[in-house]
């Protein structure tokens, strides 16, 4: 089933990639229900996934990869505004720089492959959950923000690493896209370890 609708663009990298600034075509992802996605990204584990097989096209995988990176950039931007802790600020800037670099790599690759990233239920659920998390982070007092941010970063990076290893890479057909996802994993694991280190430093 195809659904078309207009929505406000909040993620410029996606608009840039698709070349369609206002309209996304949504294809219902075969065999991948929102309840499974909700389990995947809100409880930060994919162990709850049903035994049904998932099916994401390469175009959808590329879209999910960009969305996942953009979300962390937005979390980091909140941190640069709300935190006064040097370790948090350094970590947040690294997230902005590194995830921007990943999006640039993904953009270059999809252009080379002539693939148009396709919006999908996984991306939509990620964005929906991220909006809730951003509201939550923005509401935190200065005293509580640093812990809330870094705790979320630890959980988010664990979830994204899991999703890439167990969902996106296995679902990807194109070898170069698969290679990019594999190339990104060391950075994500370093981010996770960095977040854990900062978490310990601030007493989390």
Partner 1 sequence: MEKYTPNTYEASRNKTNPKPKAGADTVLIQQMKFVPEVLYANIGDTITFINKDFVKHDVTEEKSRSWSSSVMNYGDTWRMVVSKSEDYFCSLHIVMKGKIITKTNGV
By the criterion CB under 8 A, which residues form the site for partner 1? 90, 94, 97-98, 101-102, 104-105, 108-109, 176, 179-180, 183, 186-187, 189-191, 193-194, 197
State the nearest-atom distance from the C-beta of 148 to partner 1, in Å: 21
Instruction: Report, in Å, the least distance between residue 140 CB and partner 1.
Output: 24
User: Residues near 107 by Cβ (< 8 Å), separated by ≥ 6?
Assistant: 13, 16, 17, 66
The structure tokens 């505004």 sit at 81
Nearest alpha-carbon partner for 42 in 31, 52, 34, 54? 34
The residue among 40 and 184 lying less far from partner 1, judged by its C-beta, is 184
Q: Which is nearer to partner 1, 35 or 190 (CB)?
A: 190
From the CB of 87, what's the least distance to partner 1, in Å?
8
Q: Identify which of residues 63 and 191 has a Cβ nearer to partner 1 in the complex.
A: 191
**Crossing angle of the two packed helices 58-82 and 86-113, in degrees rounded to 10:** 160
Residue among 159 and 188 whose Cβ is closer to partner 1: 188
- Nearer CB in complex with partner 1: 32/106: 106
CB of 82 to partner 1, least distance (A): 21
Shortest distance, position 89 Cβ to partner 1, whole Å: 12
Closest approach, Cβ 193 to partner 1, in A, equals 4
Q: Please, what is the angle between helix 86-113 and helix 175-201, to 10°?
A: 180
Exposure of 183 by Cβ count < 10 A (0-12 exposed, 13-18 middle, 19+ buried)? exposed
Nearer to partner 1 by Cβ, of 52 and 176: the residue is 176
Torsion of CA 59, 61, 66, 68, to 10 degrees: 150
Distance CA 83, CA 93 (A): 12
Count of other CB atoms within 10 angstroms of residue 86: 8
């Amino acid at each position: 089933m195809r659904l078309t609708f207009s929505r406000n663009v909040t993620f410029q990298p996606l608009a840039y990639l698709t070349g369609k600034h206002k309209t996304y075509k949504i294809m219902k992802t075969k065999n991948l229900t929102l309840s499974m996605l909700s389990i995947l990204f809100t409880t930060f584990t994919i162990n709850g996934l049903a035994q049904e097989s998932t099916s994401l096209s390469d175009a959808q995988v590329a879209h999910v990869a960009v969305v996942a990176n953009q979300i962390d950039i937005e979390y980091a931007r909140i941190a640069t505004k709300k935190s006064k802790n040097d370790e948090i600020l350094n970590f947040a800037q690294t997230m902005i720089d590194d995830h921007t670099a990943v999006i640039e790599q993904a953009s270059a690759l999809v252009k080379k492959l002539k693939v148009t990233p396709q919006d999908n239920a996984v991306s939509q659920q990620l964005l929906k959950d991220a909006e809730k998390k951003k509201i939550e982070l923005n509401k935190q007092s200065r005293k509580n923000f640093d812990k809330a941010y870094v705790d979320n970063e630890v959980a988010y990076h664990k979830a994204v690493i899991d999703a890439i290893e167990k969902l996106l890479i296995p679902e990807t057909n194109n070898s170069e896209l698969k290679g990019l996802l594999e190339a990104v994993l060391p950075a994500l694991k370093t981010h996770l370890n960095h977040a854990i280190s900062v978490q310990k430093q601030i007493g989390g």
